[in-house]
Structure 1
Amino acid sequence: MSMISTLRAPPTHQTGFQLWRNPYAPRNENQFKYGDFMDHIIYEKNHDIGGTWLENRYPGVACDVPAHIYTFSWEPNPDWSEFYVGGEEIFQYMKRTTAKYDLARDVVFNSKVVEAIWDQGRGKWELKIEQEGRFIWDECDIFINASGILNKWKLPSIEGINAFKGHLVHSAKWEDTYDFAGKRVGIIGNGSSALQIVPKLQEVAGHLVNFMRTPTWISATYSSELLPDGKNFYYTEEQKSEFRNNPKLLNEYRKKIESGFNKFFYALLNDSPAQAAITEQYTQIMSERLGNDPELIKKFIPSWRVGCRRLSPGEGYLEALQAPNAKYTWDPIERITEKGVVTSAGEIELDAIVCATGFDVSFMPQWKMRGLNGSTLDKWRDDPEGYLGIFAPSMPNYFIVNGPNCPVGHGSLLSVMEWTTEYIIRWAKKIASENIKAVMVKPNVVREWNVYAQEYLKRTVWTSGCRSWYKNGKIEGKVTATYPGSVIHYKEVLETIRGEDFNIEYSEPRNRFGFMGNGFTALEMDEDADLAFYMYK
């Protein structure tokens, strides 16, 4: 995702929420209609919707979540081609859904937020937005960061990387014009992207080298109990037709996948029977793919626990590394030259280098941001501490989708994002209807929440000694990305707005109950309204 969402209380509500509209920002009459309590606009940095699936176009890009649960809950897709689908098919699903429900009506594309400043006096976020070389300004009552985690790609900090004369590309900034056929190709990294890229490029490259620092677990395909031979498969036309004509059957199938997916959390607890079972299973799978070669098994099977790093099925990866035209090396990279990569064992000349080296996962906003009394989130570069993965300290009326310690390491992230959005909308309605000027999580609550989170996370495999983006790229230290509990636990926590955890400032400081008005509801203004709606047979 790469969206910034802003909300404004409509001008017909209580004083203190006057709508300000920038005359230079492109809008239309229907752009702000969102129920009866907010106006809504989305600033999107890209030229189109899609986020991850628009930006990531490398060979083999796919989702490791089963397609039938990688959908919006309200828009199932009976026509998925495979159990796991590629990125392009997901992108086309998003395009169709956007068109069907007119979801782009509030989106302003090619618009990158470069500055967000909180005006305490007026209770507004003042925004500066870059649009193709020019700037516009806007403001809002509520500022939502839905820009995502895995999109701030970066080249690795390797000496001489800009000296390379061949083709240099990051997996998240792919260039389709380069032909890898017959070339000497180096791939740096062995995370989820590399596991998908290596088999595809090995098929066409003249010679391929995969540079790795540490081993990684190659997992069984998720929901393997639903897969023939535990491998991905295509749905038949008969199956897709049955899903189209029998929504109940499709729903039952999706629920079965989702339920199994959610149960996987048990396997992420240290010393649990489920952890022992998947360790045995994945060890067997990797051993078989390595030809039961004792030397290869010793090199490739990690010592840390399964799930410490993000799990990836990686079908064909280990097999590709054993092909005649492929090589792997654990030798540390010392520098990059005009001709290739220099490791501790010597120089390897290459025509192309692919950096599958990940992202900036610090949770730092990509724009200049100043909250209450000029506060920043600079501390988040090394130690992101928020609240429920949604709130940041000293940032009034600021909400995050997928912030620090949200459930990104287990369960279906689409479900998590829906629950988060519903929670934010409940806050928005409360702010708009109760004449609230500012909501901000209390500092002591942030501290207590993070103490609880880190103590709980010690029980999980994420602390078992691997280098992971769940720990901001570190081997040891705090787990900053994942949630201290299951996704079902997260959903239940979000079902209640814990008002006691927040400092709430009202637009009318003399009496917070001014929003109650004349003692009548809007319903009672309608002479024909049913004023006994609460009675049931």
Structure 2
Amino acid sequence: MVTIGGGISAMNLAYMIMHEKNMDDIVEGWTWWVNRYPGVACDVPAHIYTFPFEPNPNWSAFYARGQEIHDYFMRTVKKYNLDRDVKTGHRVIHAQFDEHEGIWNLKVQHKSHVFDDWCNVLVSATGFLSHWKWPDIKGLHDFKGLKVHSAAWDEEFDYGKKRIAMIGNGSSAIQIMPELAKDAEHVTNFIRNPTWITPGLGSAVIGGQINRVYSEEEKKMYREHPEELKKHRKEIQHGSNRAFTMFEKDSPAQKAAFKATSQMMLDRLGGNKELAAKLTPNWEVGCRRATPGPGYLEAFTQSNVSLVTDPISYFTPTGIVTKDGTHHAFDVIVCATGFDVTHRPTFPLIGLNNTDLAYHWKDEPFSYLSLMCPHFPNLFFFSGPNAPVGHGSLMAALSWSANYISQWLSKLSTEDIKYISPTLSATEEFNTYGDEIMERLVWSGGCRSWYKNNRVDGRVTAIWQGSAIAYKEVVDRIRPEDFHFVYRTRNRWRWMGNGKTKVEGEKGADLAFYLEK
């Protein structure tokens, strides 16, 4: 098996294979390595943003900063030797399935060298926000000052006393802007649409505070009494899952969230109704990814921060011209303009009948349970199309996905199966049913969102059609009835070998193990 990607998803799978399933794995680092902009943090409570097998009693705060999260993951990877087979600096540049052999033939680039490799099973664990992009606006590269993307931050540059343009108001921009505003001469935030600034996920557990630092006594208690740590983690996760009702259109929880969040945003803007009218959406809370953003709204009350909602027409060597003809001069342009969210691979990935996945998904990405796709045998995805990426903590869902993939790995490796692929009919019915469910949920509402490939009226392709717990129930067990099987021999039962089991050949083995008390 080859796994493309060496982040959280891949390490979840590596743990399951190495420590639970006793198989082997090769993986080729990741969100908390790439994102190094000022203010980077996680808006999911730290105690549920952990590997399921490694709770961390030592989180410094309810919402952890990026560096602390990065250090936790690196420490955990080393503790369990999860990077044993990781090949850093390697990039898969071509993958093609060989139907006759039942393998994926790969071309891998390491520095200037390209070599061939192969695997029976290929896993994409590159993440759904891994390919950042510049905004498609005329003249961007004519700008002579510093031009930087939030996902490729220039840590050496001194942003103090500079005139800075912040383009975007997604989660990255919302974290970056108040940090830059502390020392900048002026920060101007250019936005196309408003976004909801909400209380943090799970903040009810800490009384609605923006954040809370854990005391040394609390951390000591969690270290010495794991049951107390588990109780705290369960309280957070329970609240997160219970809050799913807010994502149901016209539900009492959605109406209450709309009213309360609108008022909270007005309060954090110092009661400035003119600003609130520009920054507060009129569509459902959660339609676009809601972000806590401590300090973002408050920054607009500072004299060195301003808001521009007029569209950008083009860039000049010295700044930005908006649609109304105004030229805005800047020393720095920060593009927090997001990622390629089409799910299309950046390299040729060729399945059955010479089908290229990038072409197959050119209009819409249709997956089977977010994990597989017809015409692409023995290929699995973490956080593929319609995965539970907006349902509280992603970490639990990644572990459920790893468990699902491991079940197939076990079946493939023990039953002489050459390859499996989900049927087209099962996939089409899954997506049709999902679209029907999605009509009842806020993600299909009236906003422009990357959940809908940055369209207002697009099909929701990023989010699972239901609750996180519903996802777990669906992927807890594989459904062979939804799959096309091809065996290595003409008789599917040849995997039984000589009719005896492995344990019967082990010296001193207990051959009455199945008798229970």
TM-score (norm 2): 0.95
- Secondary structure of the corresponding residue to residue 230 of structure 1: coil
- Secondary structure of the corresponding residue to residue 166 of structure 2: strand
How does 1:268-279 map onto structure 2 within 5 Å? Answer: 268-279=247-258
Distance 1:307 1:406 in 2: 16
1:265 aligns with 2:250: no
- Secondary structure of the corresponding residue to residue 107 of structure 1: coil
1:168 aligns with 2:147: yes
Partner of 1:533: 513
Q: Which moved more, 1:275-284 or 1:474-483?
A: 275-284
Give the conservation status (yes or no) of the 8 Å contact 2:163–2:187: yes
1:413 aligns with 2:400: no
Distance 1:379 1:322 in 2: 48
The unaligned stretches of length 5 or more in structure 2 are 7-16
How does 1:379-528 map onto structure 2 within 5 Å? Answer: 379-508=360-489, 510-528=490-508
Instruction: Kindly tell me the number of residue pairs found equivalent between the two proteins.
Output: 504
Distance 1:502 1:228 in 2: 48
Give the conservation status (yes or no) of the 8 Å contact 2:199–2:208: no
Give the conservation status (yes or no) of the 8 Å contact 1:437–1:505: yes
Distance 2:138 2:86 in 1: 41
Give 1:5 deviation, angstroms.
6.7
Give the conservation status (yes or no) of the 8 Å contact 1:34–1:40: no
Distance 1:65 1:388 in 2: 24
1:103 to 66, 71, 82: 82
1:360 aligns with 2:340: yes
Give 1:35 deviation, angstroms.
7.4
Deviations, residues 294-313 of structure 1 (Å, cap 9, x unaligned): 32222221111000011100
Give 1:39 deviation, angstroms.
3.2
Distance 1:407 1:36 in 2: 25
Partner of 1:292: 271
Give 1:33 deviation, angstroms.
7.2
What amino acid does structure 1 have at the position aligned with 2:503?
A: L
Give 1:222 deviation, angstroms.
1.6
| Identity, % of aligned positions | 46
Distance 1:479 1:229 in 2: 30
Partner of 1:351: 331
Distance 1:434 1:62 in 2: 45
Give the conservation status (yes or no) of the 8 Å contact 1:37–1:432: no
Give 1:272 deviation, angstroms.
1.1
Partner of 1:14: none
Partner of 2:9: none
Distance 1:3 1:260 in 2: 33
Partner of 1:69: 48
Give the conservation status (yes or no) of the 8 Å contact 1:188–1:212: yes
2:192 to 213, 220, 231: 213
Give the conservation status (yes or no) of the 8 Å contact 1:5–1:143: no
- Secondary structure of the corresponding residue to residue 210 of structure 1: strand
Give the conservation status (yes or no) of the 8 Å contact 2:143–2:318: yes
Give 1:526 deviation, angstroms.
2.5
Deviations, residues 230-265 of structure 1 (Å, cap 9, x unaligned): 220111111111111111100110111111111121
What amino acid does structure 2 have at the position aligned with 1:471?
A: K
Give the conservation status (yes or no) of the 8 Å contact 2:269–2:300: no
What amino acid does structure 2 have at the position aligned with 1:452?
A: Y
What amino acid does structure 2 have at the position aligned with 1:192?
A: S
Change (3 A) 1:353 1:88: same
Q: Which moved more, 1:231-240 or 1:181-190?
A: 231-240
Distance 1:392 1:111 in 2: 25
Deviations, residues 82-123 of structure 1 (Å, cap 9, x unaligned): 100111100000111111111110100000110001111111
Give 1:3 deviation, angstroms.
5.8
- Secondary structure of the corresponding residue to residue 317 of structure 2: coil
- Secondary structure of the corresponding residue to residue 104 of structure 1: coil
What amino acid does structure 2 have at the position aligned with 1:344?
A: K
Partner of 2:24: 39
Distance 2:208 2:47 in 1: 19
1:78 aligns with 2:63: no
Deviations, residues 413-470 of structure 1 (Å, cap 9, x unaligned): 1110111011101101100100000101111111111111111100000111101010
Distance 1:172 1:36 in 2: 35
Partner of 1:22: none
2:303 to 287, 312, 324: 324
Change (3 A) 1:521 1:225: same
Give the conservation status (yes or no) of the 8 Å contact 1:382–1:472: no
What amino acid does structure 1 have at the position aligned with 2:340?
A: D
Deviations, residues 205-239 of structure 1 (Å, cap 9, x unaligned): 00110000011100012212122452201111111
Distance 1:74 1:483 in 2: 24
RMSD: 1.6
Give 1:527 deviation, angstroms.
4.5
Give 1:409 deviation, angstroms.
1.2
Give 1:366 deviation, angstroms.
2.0
- Secondary structure of the corresponding residue to residue 39 of structure 1: coil
Give 1:293 deviation, angstroms.
2.6
How does 1:41-60 map onto structure 2 within 5 Å? Answer: 41-43=26-28, 49=29, 51-60=30-39
Partner of 1:151: 130
Distance 1:220 1:35 in 2: 38
TM-score (norm 1): 0.92
Distance 2:107 2:23 in 1: 21
